[in-house]
Each structure stands twice: as structure tokens, then as C-alpha cells.
Amino acid sequence: MANQQDHPLQLTNTLTRKKEKFIPLDPPHVGIYVCGPTVYSDVHLGNVRSFLTFDILFRWLTFLGYKVRYVRNITDVGHLVDDIDEGEDKIAKRARMERLEPMEIVQKYTNGFHDVMRLFNILPPSIEPTATGHLIEQIVMIERIIANGYAYVVNGSVYFDVPKYAETHAYGELSGRKIEDQLANTRGTEGQEEKRSPLDFALWKKAEKGHLMHWPSPWGEGFPGWHLECSVMSTKYLGLTFDIHGGGMDLKFPHHECEIAQSVAADGVAPVRYWMHGNMLTVEGRKMAKSEGNGFTPEELVTGNHKLLERGYSPMTVRFFMLQCHYASTLDFSNAALQAAEKGLQRIMAAYDILAKLKPTTEGTAFDVDALVNACNAAMNDDLNTPVMIAHLFDGVRAINGANDGNVALSEADIDQLRILFDDMLFTVMGLMSEAEAKSGDELSSGLMNVLLTLRADAKNRKDFAASDLIRDKLAELGVTVKDTKDGPVWERA
Amino acid sequence: MANQQDHPLQLTNTLTRKKEKFIPLDPPHVGIYVCGPTVYSDVHLGNVRSFLTFDILFRWLTFLGYKVRYVRNITDVGHLVDDIDEGEDKIAKRARMERLEPMEIVQKYTNGFHDVMRLFNILPPSIEPTATGHLIEQIVMIERIIANGYAYVVNGSVYFDVPKYAETHAYGELSGRKIEDQLANTRGTEGQEEKRSPLDFALWKKAEKGHLMHWPSPWGEGFPGWHLECSVMSTKYLGLTFDIHGGGMDLKFPHHECEIAQSVAADGVAPVRYWMHGNMLTVEGRKMAKSEGNGFTPEELVTGNHKLLERGYSPMTVRFFMLQCHYASTLDFSNAALQAAEKGLQRIMAAYDILAKLKPTTEGTAFDVDALVNACNAAMNDDLNTPVMIAHLFDGVRAINGANDGNVALSEADIDQLRILFDDMLFTVMGLMSEAEAKSGDELSSGLMNVLLTLRADAKNRKDFAASDLIRDKLAELGVTVKDTKDGPVWERA
């Protein structure tokens, strides 16, 4: 395991608000649960960043030699429009708008979510369970909570009794909210008359007439509350207490707070040892939101088809850009920052290509490859500090370029070790793909085009216009047009 | 709707063994249910053919203007190793072998299945429900069947009472098997002592100790029988009686026979109006089977990495090859047949490219485009007769090539109509992708390579070896090597 002795893996536990040494319950096994998307609309960039954060965690733990079971769910029922327990189910609402069966909506947006994950090379989880796939388990868990006295049934619905729970447990410990403050901040109980306290949340909701998604239960026809599915699916696949639970920071309260309360109320044990939360995205300093007009989609970012984007950025540029920021920090999108990331990625990939052909030399300044490897591993072990790890890789880039110019001495063993380091960090850990891998045909095409443009320039220089015209005509047949600009010829496809 | 008046859509109903006019229950809506894969191993080519058949059905009905809800399930529990009701659950068995949670197996092979579907451009269904996602519904259906007297509970399991059902219903009507013959052909009842009759099948099985997948039910901890999920999911999303149910011919008995019995026993109505079954694959005349050593996978077919394959064939070649055979006929794989299909596809795509640039002419023989369009539509309406439709398209290919050579007269309206026909039939209906679309970069690369090889040959002809060497060296820098063979230069990438 990479450098486990000197710099053991530490993760910031949002439950204790401290960086803690990571000690799995049952090594070499590690269990991770991450809250996945609610599939009633297209995935947004904030989701992509969050899933990328836990993709890096998954990759790094696997790289360290752990056997990771990574569970990321699909919420296909039960998330309510108002994020309180009244209002229409989000999926059912969209279904009526589109006059579709709710599960058609689910299918459409699940497919779209998977497409976006693939685009950014975010690995699929080990298990991707759905809320509708675990209804029996949810009903059974509610029965345990009721039996333990922490939930009550009203008119076909079941609510979690937060004040009762808070008498003996620290409700609010994850989000740091005191129950008195929560009560003071509560909006009126309009439409929530069934609840004993406005802090209570639904475990099971009675299906009103016309509600599209409902199932029989001991309390009548209804559907599960949103918070319940994650408690059920995480513990089913990872055990009553498991290693790591992740999600976006916006899920800390009430969702994750409720998950803790449900597990403790049902089974008497805290479900999670390490809570991890990713931070938010901003665009040019402002929160990204549809209402602000700055909420471009992953596709728009790649195609450049949005008024705030000067042009498109490749998925690997976006990935590298996100990893140049620590997951717990706010990440700000701007064209300048993306273009800088693009240049950085090109520079690092160019050095990787040089490395493949580099010959050993004893001339020039010495470079300590061991220290570089240790620094990269230590950065990753330091709460997944990808920006620091990348900064170290750039030290390696300078050494490679220096060796290529004859100014830095690298032995054969040094070069081999650098190759392994760059392979590991770029592809295995950061999950980047070389552009060749991402779109091999396109890269060859641009190489071939450069050869043809060189031949064309040569022909023009020796005034062999028959030859230069032949090249132009043959390219035209392929739908490629060449324009001569003051910066040289540029080409584009029809 | 394409030619509905003259040649209304007819489908072979395997229930009546007749070609019947297709009349949907609730036009313009059409409901289709197709048995999807059991995700405990890699998808095989027979599955691909079956899903392609129903992809064509989905595409053709949509093309005709119907609003199609296409449900194709994922079997993630309950299919037993012996295809009788004893033995270990297939998924649980693999899970133990690989020491994985069963749902990890499910996830792995579901992902693999989706990859193969994407490779062959088989459209995702409108809804892709899972067996584990419909356990409550299955329990509720079992309760209805018990209440109606067609099932009995023994020791925590529930069995369907086939002899009781057969007293008043035609058990065997789909497969054409008489119940007396079924009884005569039954193997011993070893391990099936609980059943009153060897013909009975499990609706719910008690989970023995150590069984990995089980849920609570009114009959104790257990799991659903394999046949039940399809009855539940088809009727949940399409109604108690729906239009079309499809699947491979091997599913006719017992699976589809049991589906009919379950629906009739639970709800008193036959579930399906049109049953459709796709035929099998053979390899050089022999049944494809792993034990025969001739069971190559979809990936092996594409890469050519199997001893029976002379080389790889592109997914679109395989798709076109399969569509040159009617779905109800046996399809035989051979290198010669695949290569013929590849040539045919190239010829048709070349004509499509010519069509894009074709100029109207009044010279030459007349050609009746209306008749061609009608013939293509009529072939598709004749039980999805893709081979006949393709044969008609080749009449169009001859006309296009003839017009290009100045021997066939095509007006501007003719050319427009041909373009629409070819667009419709090639891409919308047959779901082919142009190679450009399938891998745009690669196609451009091979075009550019041809230009460079032409320039190189020209340089050699005029004995300008500096120029021909320059091209060779520049290509070498891109990792491309050129070899001169007696058939001309060939190139390959490192």
C-alpha cells in the first residue's frame, strides 16, 4: 500500500469536523455509500463534481489495495417537490407534464445520467440500487423504528418523532444545528397538521388520490419518505455500521441527519464512521443556478453552447480542472480558469509522451524521483489533496523536460519510476484518459492533416500549384476545407 | 402512417400460428413487453439477435406513427440453475464463486449488457424494470392466485397448481404441448417432493439457509419464482391485457406458457394479444453453444478474436447481416456470409453517398420510385420482412448507380423521395449508423491516408524520392507504417 507507514490516509470527517486517520472496520474491505441522483431531470454540473470527488476516493482506496464495495443509489421515488413532506412527488409531477408513466421518466433520466458519467470517465459503482427496488426493506425498517418508539402512525402515514429521539440522542450532531434553533427556524406547519412537531419527517406517506407511485403497506397504500431509502440500502449492502458515507454538502441537513437518526432509532448504532461532503460550484463567483442563468449543463460545457462559455472544453479538461481544486473547497468556473487547466493538461500529457521516448543520461542536475513519488502519495493520503498532488506532478514535468533538453540527469531506473508514477497518477488515480484513448481517430486525423498541410505549403513554396491544388481538391472531396490565415492554414470539416 | 391502407401491418402471432393484421388495443398507443437478460453472465449473440428483432419492431411501430411503450426487463433474481425449481439461484451461485454480493454481480453484468446493446445500436426500452424492483407486486399477485384457488402453500413455498388450472384452461396452448404429453415427458420428482404435480411451478420459494437473496413474505423468508416477474411487470406498465409480448423461441415453454397461466389465474384475462418469438442462431450449421466451442461473444465477433472467425466484423455489418434474415428463421453465422453482408452494406452505403450528390436527369430508362417505396413499406408491414425490404433497397441501389452512370432517368422529385426512403429505411428503421457516425474520426483518418498514399504514389512515379520519403517519415512520426504489397500500399497504426 502506497506509503501507508509514513503518511497514512487521512480524511476529513464532517461528523467530527477533523482530519482523521482512516481505519476501516474490516480491512482489506472498505464500504462506501454515496447519495446518487434523483432521476427526474438532467444531471447538473454540481452532481458531476460530487460524483467525481467520490470517484477519486473509490480509485484511491482501490489503488491503496483496499477491496472497495462502492454503493451509489438512484432515487426513483419519494423525493418531494418542496423538500418537505408535502407537495407532489417530483417524478410523478414530471410524468403528468409529459403524460408518461413515472418509470419512463426514471428510465430516460437514468440513461442520461449514465451517459454523463461515461463522458467524464466516472467509474460505475459496485452496486447501483434503486429506492423502488428496496420497498420491502424500507417497510421492515419503519416497523423497527415504530417498535422502538421513535415513529408514529397518523392517517396512513408514518412520521419520525424527532423531539422524542432528541431527548436521548444528538439530533443535529452532523450539521451542527441545535434543535432549539431548528424549531425557531421552522416555517409554519401549513399542510403538515398530521405531524406532532414540525421537525418530524415522513418515513411513509399515504398516497392521495391520483398519486401515481404507491404500494401496499401495513399502513395502507403509500410511498416511502425520501430519507429512508439511503438508510436501508447503505446498511443492506455494507452492514449496520460502515466505513464512509459521502454526498454533496447540501445533503448534510436534513437528509444525512435523518439517515443517522433512522439507523440509530431502528438498530441502536450509528451507521457511518466517516462522513464526507463535497463543496459547491460557482460561476465567476456566483452560485450556479438555473434562475441566475449561469447553470450550464455538462453537455453545454463540452460543446461550448452557452452564452457564458467562450468555447467548449473537453471532458478530460473539465475533469482535470475540477481536480485542481480540493473537494472541500468551492470551485469557481471561468473561461480563463478552464483554459489554464487545458494548457496545464496538455503540458502534462506532452511530458508523458516525452517520457515514453526519453533516454537515460547522467548529465545535468540531479532529480530525486523517490521524493516526488512520496510527495504525490502523501498528498493523496492527505484528505485526497489532488491539487497538491498535481503541483508535485508538475515538478516531474519540469524534470522530464529538463532531461529531454539535457539539463537534468535521469537514470534508466528514474525514468521507469517516473513512467509508473505518471501512469498511476494520471490514469489510475485521476482517471484521465489520453486524448488518443478518448478519441483515437480524431487525433490521428489531426496528425495526418498536419502532414498534408506541410506538403501543401512545400508545394506552394516551390510554386507547384498543380500539387497544392490537388491536395485542396482531395480534401474537399472528404468535406475538409482549408483556409489560409495570417497565423497559417486552418482546416475544418463540413 | 406508411401505406397502412393497402398493406396493413401483419405480424405472425405464435399463439394462433397465423399471420394476423395488427390491431392495437388503444391506438395510437402500443404496449410491448420483451423478456430481457438474466444478468448473471455475459450476454450472448443469441440474445443480441432477439433484442435486435424487437428493436426493429419498436422502430417500425414508432415509424408508423404509434406511441410505443416498450418494456424490457432485467432478471436480477429467481432464475434457477436447473430451469426447474430446485437448485441454487444462478446469481447467488456466481456471487459465491466470485465472493461478491449478488447485487455486485447484477451490476457488473447489467453494465456489460448495456455496453453490448449500445455497440449494436439497439435502442434502450421505455422502461427497464427489475425483478427485485417489483417484489411487493409479485407477492400481491401470488395472493390473488392463491385466493382464486390456483396455487397452494407448502412449507414456506407457493406452487402454481397446473392440473387444477388445466381442468378449465388450455395450459399448453402457446407451445402446442398437450398436458398428457408434458406429464409423460417429466423427469422424476426428485427434490420436488413438495409439489402435488411435477408440472407445478414455483411462485415463491422458501429461502434455504445460506441462500443470499431473500425477502420477508406472508409465507416466510424467500424469493419469487422466475416466471412471475414478467407477469407482474408487463401488466403493471402495460395493463392487464396488452398488445405484444416478445422473446426468444426457447422461452415459449415453460416461461411464456406459465406467464399466461399466472395472468389468467390471477385476473381472469389472457395477458397478451400478439405473441412473437425470434428464432435461434447457428454457426456453420450447428447450434451455437459454449460446449460446442462455437459460442463466440459479441465482442469476439467484432474483434475477430475467436478461432472460427477469419477476422472481425463491425457492429453495423453484424446488424445488417442479421437483418438480411427474417426474424422467424434460423440464422447461420459463417465468415463467407458475414463478408457478403459487409460488401452488401458497403454497396448500399456507397449508393447513399452518391444519392447525396446526384443530379436530376431525363436521360435513360425510367424507374418507378413510388413502387419502390410501397414495396419497402409492404415488406416491413409483412411481419417485419427485413430481407425482402433490403432486396428492394438494392433495386434502388441499381437505379442510383444507373442514374450516376447516365443510364437511368431520375427527376429531382425522384431523387428527393429516394433520399427520404434510404434515410428512413437505413437509419430510422434498420438502425444502421454510417461508419462516419459510428466512428467519425476513423473515417476521416482513412480518407486522409488515401490522399497521402496517392501523393506518395505520384511522387514515386515521377521519381521524386525526397517527397515520397518525407511522407513516409512524417507518417512514421504519427505511428503509421506503410507497406507496399502486390495489391497496393496498406497502412497500419502502431
Measured between CB atoms, does A285 come within 8 Å of chain B? Answer: no
Could you say which residues of chain B have pLDDT below 50?
1-3, 79-86, 94-99, 189, 439-441
C-alpha distance from residue A477 to each of A144, A471, B353, B442 (Å): 72, 10, 12, 16
Q: Which residue has the higher pLDDT, A460 or B142?
A: B142
A133–B133 C-beta distance less than 8 A: yes
Q: Exposed/middle/buried for B228, CB within 10 Å: 0-12, 13-18, 19+? A: buried
CA distance A16 to A272: 12
Nearest C-alpha in B relative to A480: B444
Mean per-residue pLDDT for A32-42?
93
Reported residue count of chain A is 494
pLDDT at residue A327 in the model? 98
B451–A478 C-beta distance less than 8 A: yes
Contact status, residue B120 vs residue B319, Cβ threshold 8 Å: yes
- Shortest CA gap A243–chain B (Å): 17
A140-173 burial by CB neighbour count: b if 16+ within 10 A, else e? ebbbebbeeebbbbeebbbbbbbebbbeebebbe
Measured between CB atoms, does B451 come within 8 Å of chain A? Answer: yes
How many A×B Cβ pairs under 8 Å? Answer: 115
Contact status, residue A203 vs residue A153, Cβ threshold 8 Å: no
CA distance B396 to B360: 15
Q: Exposed/middle/buried for B84, CB within 10 Å: 0-12, 13-18, 19+? A: middle
A440–B442 C-beta distance less than 8 A: yes
Could you tell me how many helices (H) and strands (E) chain B has, helices first?
Answer: 17, 15
- Cell of residue B96, nine digits: 459465491
Q: Is the dihedral of CA B53, B59, B65, B70 positive or negative?
A: positive
Residue position matching grid coordinates 507518417 = B475
**pLDDT tens across A150-203, in order?**
999 999 999 999 999 999 999 999 999 988 888 777 665 555 689 999 999 999
Q: Which residue has the higher pLDDT, A263 or B438?
A: A263
Contact status, residue B126 vs residue B50, Cβ threshold 8 Å: no
The residue extents of the domains of chain A are 10-278, 282-436, 440-493
**What angle in degrees, to the nearest 10, is found between the helix axes of A228-238 and A135-147?**
100
Ordered alpha helix ranges (H), B358-464: 369-381, 386-404, 412-422, 435-438, 440-461
Q: Is the pLDDT of residue A488 over 90?
A: no
Measured between CB atoms, does A135 come within 8 Å of chain B? Answer: yes
Set of chain A residues whose Cβ sits within 8 Å of the Cβ of B130: 130, 133
Set of chain A residues whose Cβ sits within 8 Å of the Cβ of B137: 215
**Domain at A10-278: CATH code:** 3.40.50.620
Residue position matching grid coordinates 442479421 = B322
- Cell of residue A420, nine digits: 509508473
Instruction: State the number of CA atoms in the 13 A half-sphere of A250 facing the CB.
Output: 9
Nearest 5°: the CA angle B82, B233, B16 is: 75
Q: Which of A129, A135, A475 sits opposite B451 (nearest CB)?
A: A475
Task: Please give the radius of gyration of chain B, using alpha carbons only, rounded to the nearest integer.
Answer: 27
- Cell of residue B250, nine digits: 426457447
pLDDT at residue A127 in the model? 95
Q: Is the dihedral of CA A263, A267, A268, A271 positive or negative?
A: negative
Set of chain B residues whose Cβ sits within 8 Å of the Cβ of A444: 441-442, 445, 478, 480, 493
pLDDT at residue A443 in the model? 53
Contact status, residue A225 vs residue A12, Cβ threshold 8 Å: no
Backbone angles phi and psi of B32, in degrees to 5: -125, 135
A444–B480 C-beta distance less than 8 A: yes
Q: Is the dihedral of CA A83, A88, A92, A98 positive or negative?
A: negative
CA distance A273 to A243: 5
pLDDT at residue B487 in the model? 61
The one-letter code for the residue type at B227 is: H
pLDDT at residue B444 in the model? 64
Could you tell me how many helices (H) and strands (E) chain A has, helices first?
Answer: 17, 15
* Prediction pTM value: 0.84
Nearest C-alpha in A relative to B480: A444
B130–A107 C-beta distance less than 8 A: no
Q: Do the two domains B11-278 and B282-436 of this chain adopt the same fold?
A: no
A101–B478 C-beta distance less than 8 A: no
Q: Which residue has the higher pLDDT, A446 or A482?
A: A482
Contact status, residue A60 vs residue A296, Cβ threshold 8 Å: no
**Can you identify the CATH homologous superfamily of domain B11-278?**
HUPs (3.40.50.620)
**What angle in degrees, to the nearest 10, is found between the helix axes of A45-63 and A315-323?**
70
Set of chain B residues whose Cβ sits within 8 Å of the Cβ of A124: 107, 111
CA distance A197 to A160: 10
Q: Which residues pair with B191 in a beta bridge?
A: none
- Cell of residue A307, nine digits: 452564452
Q: Running DSSP on this structure, what letter comes out for residue A254?
A: I
Contact status, residue B290 vs residue B277, Cβ threshold 8 Å: no
Grade residue A3 by pLDDT with cuts at 50, 70 and 90. very low
C-alpha distance from residue A258 to each of A207, A231, A263 (Å): 22, 9, 9
pLDDT at residue A399 in the model? 98
pLDDT at residue A84 in the model? 40
pLDDT at residue B4 in the model? 52
pLDDT at residue B295 in the model? 80
Query: Reduced to 3 states, what is the DSSP secondary structure of residue B300?
Result: helix
Helix (H) or strand (E) holding B117, with range, is: helix B102-119
- Shortest CA gap A9–chain B (Å): 26
**pLDDT tens across A291-329, in order?**
777 888 888 888 888 888 888 899 999 999 999 999 999
Set of chain B residues whose Cβ sits within 8 Å of the Cβ of A130: 130, 133
Query: Reduced to 3 states, what is the DSSP secondary structure of residue B404?
Result: helix
Nearest C-alpha in B relative to A472: B451
Fold for the domain defined by A282-436: Isoleucyl-tRNA Synthetase; Domain 1 (1.10.730)
Grade residue A97 by pLDDT with cuts at 50, 70 and 90. very low
> Which residues are CB-neighbours of B294 under 8 A, at least 6 positions away?
B283, B284, B286, B288, B308
CA distance A45 to A297: 6
The one-letter code for the residue type at A74 is: I
Instruction: State the number of CA atoms in the 13 A half-sphere of B238 facing the CB.
Output: 33
Nearest C-alpha in B relative to A72: B107
Q: Running DSSP on this structure, what letter comes out for residue A365?
A: B
- Shortest CA gap B415–chain A (Å): 21
CA distance A119 to A466: 44
A interface test, pick of B138, B223, B445 with most A CB neighbours within 10 Å: B445
- Cell of residue B452, nine digits: 497521402
Q: Is the pLDDT of residue A78 over 80?
A: no
Measured between CB atoms, does B237 come within 8 Å of chain A? Answer: yes
Ramachandran assignment for A293, one of left (phi > 0), alpha (psi -120 to 50 degrees), beta (any other) = left
Question: Residues of B numbered 90-109 whose beta carbons fall under 8 angstroms of chain A's beta carbons: which are they?
Answer: 101, 103-104, 106-107
Listed residue (B461, B488, B455) closest to B474, CA to CA: B455
B445–A444 C-beta distance less than 8 A: yes
